[in-house]
Amino acid sequence: MSDVLIRPALIAAGGLSARARRAYTARRGAERDAGVSTLEMVIITLGLIAVATLLVTAITLAVTRRTDQIK
């Protein structure tokens, strides 16, 4: 008799937990949209590359001037 009652209860609990998980992930998906988009990451990366290029150019010029002074 208990198997007759337990099996439907487990099926119902499984369905309710699946519905709760789906609702939770749907709410979490809306929160994930607040992050950084791919385009923003590309722009940030290009900016960092530009800054690094300027830094390397400045260091190269400084070293070249210093070596010319030594000669």
For residue 58, the SS3 value is helix
In this predicted structure, the answer to whether residue 69 has a pLDDT above a threshold of 60 is yes
Is the model's pLDDT at 1 over the cut of 50? Answer: no
Q: Tell me how many degrees the CA angle 50-56-61 measures, rounded to the nearest 5.
A: 125
pLDDT in the model for residue 4: 67
pLDDT in tens, 10-65: 787 788 788 887 877 776 665 555 667 788 888 989 999 999 999 999 999 989 99
pTM of the predicted structure, to 2 decimals: 0.48
Distance separating alpha carbons of residues 10 and 22, to the nearest angstrom? 18
